[in-house]
Amino acid sequence: MQFQLEDAHPAPTPMEIGTQLIQAEDNANISARVPYREIIGSLMYAATATRPDIVFAVSVLGQFMHNPAKLHWEATKRVVRYPKGMKDLELTYGATDTGIIGYTDADHASQHHRHSISGYVFLINGGMVSWSSKRQPIVALSTTEAKYVAATHSVKEVLWLQAFLGEIMRPLSVPTTLNCDNQSVIALTKDGQFHARTKHIDLRFHFIHKAVTNGTITMAYCLTQLMVADILTKPLVRGKTKEHTGSLGLLPP
């Protein structure tokens, strides 16, 4: 193996619960001694192509490529160790006939930089076709705002998917269901009433209200414990990681 980790023991999750990674002092830089950039590049390929369960960890660790320290390197090795115990999984399609279903979520201000992490995933007939885990450009003032912003970005992906599928197959005749685990967010997308606690939200994020009104999407409530996009926003315990990985269509052959 390129990084001499073939004998490493498998890890139960990509990242430990409560992990907080910050920029290191310049004199702590270890990039000259370890292949940090190279290993992150390899992990990014896997996360983009077939392993969305490591997307959050890789996106966090990718922020330190210019100045990695020992703690970043140890966290990176854990991400490499995680797929070793899950290497028999593969993306599976056709387990259901539900068409396009989306899940959107956000983790509010749990990271050191205080920016919330948006995550979404879209499945077609039980298998993932699109996923994302990104730091929000703004500092959200509440969980509702963070998840509302995440839902808006998810709708942009819905529009692209609908247009793409309409070209290669046929135009979709029904709205795409977008699942969210926050009732306040769903209410905001439907009633168009931007109350005192949410009137500060930038106008561009209210784009989602138009998508609901014209029938592009249907917002649906999803219990937090069933929110599979949760795996794209923060580290999870072993049981939840395994459960959500299966729900995303990563299954044994």
Q: What was the pLDDT predicted at 102?
A: 96
Contacts with 8 (C-beta within 8 Å, 6 or more apart), sequence order: 77, 80, 81, 84
CA angle at 135 for the pair 175 and 78, rounded to the nearest 5°? 110
Instruction: Give tens-digit pLDDT for 149-163.
Output: 999 999 999 999 999
What average pLDDT does this structure show over 216-224? 95
Q: What was the pLDDT predicted at 20?
A: 84
Which numeric CATH code is attached to 91-251?
Answer: 3.30.420.10
* pLDDT for residue 221 is more than 90: yes
Which helix (DSSP H) or strand (DSSP E) does residue 250 occupy? strand 250-251
Length of the chain: 253
What average pLDDT does this structure show over 238-247? 94
Which range is most confident: 11-25, 81-95, 168-182, 220-234? 220-234
Identify which has the larger pLDDT, 198 or 252.
252
What percent of the chain is predicted at pLDDT more than 90? 57
- Domain coordinates of the chain in residue numbers? 1-87, 91-251
Instruction: Give tens-digit pLDDT for 190-203.
Output: 875 555 456 667 66
Instruction: Give tens-digit pLDDT for 37-55.
Output: 999 999 999 999 889 999 9
What percent of the chain is predicted at pLDDT more than 70? 93
Contacts with 65 (C-beta within 8 Å, 6 or more apart), sequence order: 36, 37, 40
Q: What was the pLDDT predicted at 48?
A: 92
Q: What was the pLDDT predicted at 200?
A: 62
E-strand spans in 9-156? 90-91, 100-107, 117-124, 127-135
* pLDDT for residue 24 is more than 90: no
Q: What was the pLDDT predicted at 99?
A: 83
* pLDDT for residue 9 is more than 80: yes
Rounded distance, CA 218 to CA 205, Å? 17
Confidence of residue 107 (pLDDT cuts 50, 70, 90): very high
Residue 211, CA atoms < 13 Å, CB-side half-sphere: 27
